[in-house]
Amino acid sequence: MKSVLLVDDSLFVRKSLKDILIQNGYSIVGEATDGYEAIEKYENCFPDIVLMDIVMPFMNGMEASKEILKLHPNAKIVVLSALGKQEDIISLFKIGVKDYITKPFNQEKFLEIIDFQLKPKIS
């Protein structure tokens, strides 16, 4: 079972994501409401993938992603955000984020992206 860390300051969003993921065979190994918590939880549970919001209190998702990827370059982080500014998305990819999903999202497309990111890559 693939493990997921959910990072979003909205309880509603985390609950919605959790329901979708659990129904589709994923295991939620942690939840965080800000970037600092995300880094701490990542260090405790080393999930297969992180679903990261951008706009959060204390430390935003871009800073948290940067920190996680600095410590764990192979971390798989997919950003889910209502913000869709081209330069922000480019910056996220430059730091190593694997994909970007705009909220609100299509559930089928969301699951396709997560599945794709977790498939073993043939080199």
Is 3-112 in CATH node 3.30.1330.10? no
Condensed to tens digits (0 to 9), the pLDDT of residues 11-47 reads 999 999 999 999 999 999 999 999 999 999 999 999 9
Model confidence at 81, pLDDT cuts 50, 70, 90, reads confident
Average pLDDT of the segment spanning 64-72: 95
Residue 85 CB burial class (10 angstroms; 0-12, 13-18, ≥19): exposed
Residue 123 has pLDDT above 80, yes or no: no
Domain ranges of the chain: 3-112
Which pLDDT belongs to residue 105?
83
Interaxial angle between packed helices 61-71 and 35-45, expressed in degrees from 0 to 180 and rounded to the nearest 10:
30
Provide, rounded to the nearest whole percent, the portion of the chain with pLDDT above 90.
Answer: 67
Per-residue confidence (pLDDT) for residue 82, from 0 to 100: 82
pLDDT at 84 over 70: no
Say what the pTM is: 0.91
Residues with Cβ < 8 Å from 46, sequence gap 6 or more?
72
